[in-house]
Amino acid sequence: MATALMLGASIHDVAQVAGAGLSISPEVGAQAVIIKMIRVACLLPVVASFSLFFFRLRSTAHNAEPVAPVPGFILAFLLLAISSSIGLLPDAARSYGGQISGCILTASVAAIGLSTSFGDLKRADHSLVAVLIGQSALQLLAVLTLIHYLF
């Protein structure tokens, strides 16, 4: 569980969490993805607040058309997680959904690999790379500290 917590809480992309977790074991992969998705779901109030704030600014300034204050995928994830947790989804739907999500995660990991270019990384501004490495190190330190105190 500690490994899944470290992967799910410290890696930015869901597909990378899945790839890292599944490289250890199917159980660690599933736990890491769940932790990552919970982390993403915790962004719901933050995303909703920012969306509502900027929607109000935009609508008063430009008489803009209404936009959904919360992205649909966050609401869909929340609805499916609650439905699955309280037993509203039949076992067949959960099994089929698990197979579909596994295929989608595999495709996304492959897409990331295909779109990664070391040439682009070499051309990136060095200060940006330093900030990203520093942020990743701080996030990893925070997660390892949490794991140390929980386990």
Range 39-65 average pLDDT: 71
Q: Give yes or no for residue 60 having a pLDDT over 70.
A: no
Task: Report the pLDDT averaged over residues 10-27.
Answer: 88
Task: Give the pLDDT confidence score for residue 4 in this predicted structure.
Answer: 92
Q: According to the model, what pLDDT value does residue 99 have?
A: 86
Q: Where do we find the tokens 């089929």?
A: 96
pLDDT at 28: 93
Element (H, E) at 120: helix 118-123
User: pTM for this one?
Assistant: 0.55
How far apart are alpha carbons 145 and 116 in whole angstroms? 31
Predicted confidence (pLDDT) per residue in 105-149, tens digit: 778 777 777 777 778 777 878 888 888 888 888 888 888 888 888
d(CA 26, CA 79): 25
Could you list the beta-strand ranges (E) of the chain: none
Average pLDDT value over all residues in the chain: 81
